[in-house]
Amino acid sequence: MDLPVAVFDSGVGGLTVLHELLVSLPGEDYLYLGDTARFPYGGRTVDELRDFAGEIAAHLIERGAKLLVIACNSATAAALDDLRQRLEDSGSTVPVIGVIKPESVLAAAATKTGRIGLLATTATTESGAYERAIAAADPHTQVVAVACPDLAPVIQSGSPFDDQVVQMVRRYCEPLIEAKVDTVILGCTHYPLIRPLLQRTLGPGVRIITSGDAVSRRVEHALSINNILKPAGGPEGRYSFSCTGDPDAFREVGERFLQLPLGSVERVILDSGDLT
């Protein structure tokens, strides 16, 4: 089906998810939207995040998206169920995938001790969404959640990591080390950019779960069961980028996240229209 998969996030963090999609499903076309004008999402209210998700989804569906990926943990926690319901009520058949359930299933399967750590934004940790998803996958688990309100903005800024950032990461990881978790979910799509630092801090015996790999598997499955998956073996698909803030700033930081050239970045203005 010659329509794009759309991926959206509060900023450039979702490009870590898009990277895995480009590698796993190279024949698909992709649209990416970063809501950088309203970044960060971590301190937003549930109502705000639901409004943002509705605006973005309406814009991407208007541009022909055949499937939506909410590549933002805060938005997934607050808005996934609401957005699916609004799409259903509007008569849309576009599937919507979030990042929380795929990561939770992988973490529940990976842990050997049943002790799982979570590093995420304040909005995500306060939602309890990971605890519910992990308990549904395996009730015999314990989740230690740590809110990291300063981490995503530091990563998004693109500034060099100094000793202050290292100390911040150590402070956030300390409760997980004390709890002797053996698996840690990176509950924000920005965090994979500092995975080496996190792995060094947590120790080599701790498995780190990121959303990119988990989501790419779920996207392939959703495309397949809805009969909208492009046949394997075809030419590489196209990808395009847009943001609500400064395109030049998005491109500069985004290429570090995607590890591929972005090319032109379109600035879009989202209106207050929704899916109803």
Q: What is the DSSP string of 127-165?
A: HTHHHHHHHHH-SS-EEEEEE-TTHHHHHHHTPPP-HHH
Domains for the chain: give ranges and CATH numbers.
Answer: 5-98+213-267 (3.40.50.1860), 100-210 (3.40.50.1860)
> What's the pTM?
0.90
Span 43-78, pLDDT tens digits: 899 999 999 999 999 999 999 999 999 999 999 999
b/e per residue, 124-151, with b = 16+ CB within 10 A?
A: bbbbebbbebbbeeeeebebbbbbbeeb
Average pLDDT (165-171) is 95
Read off the pLDDT of residues 230-257 as tens digits, 9 standing for 90 and up. 988 889 999 999 999 999 999 988 988 8
Of 72, 148, 173, 243, which residue is the catalytic one? Answer: 72
pLDDT on residue 197: 95
Percentage with pLDDT > 70 across the chain:
98
For all residues of the chain together, what is the average pLDDT? 93
> What is the band of 273 on the pLDDT scale with cuts at 50, 70, 90?
low
| 243 among known catalytic residues | no
User: Which of 148, 173, 188, 243 is labelled catalytic?
Assistant: 188
The structure tokens 């998700």 sit at 53
What does the pLDDT average to over 221-232?
A: 94
Tokens of 129: 């969404």
Cβ-based neighbour number of residue 103 at 10 Å: 27
> Is the predicted pLDDT of residue 31 greater than 60, yes or no?
yes
Q: Is 148 a catalytic residue?
A: no
Q: How much is the average pLDDT of 103-126?
A: 96
> Which residues, 6 or more positions from 209, have their beta carbon under 8 angstroms from its beta carbon?
103, 106, 107, 110, 183, 184, 185, 186
Q: Is the pLDDT of residue 156 over 90?
A: no
Q: What pLDDT does residue 233 have?
A: 85
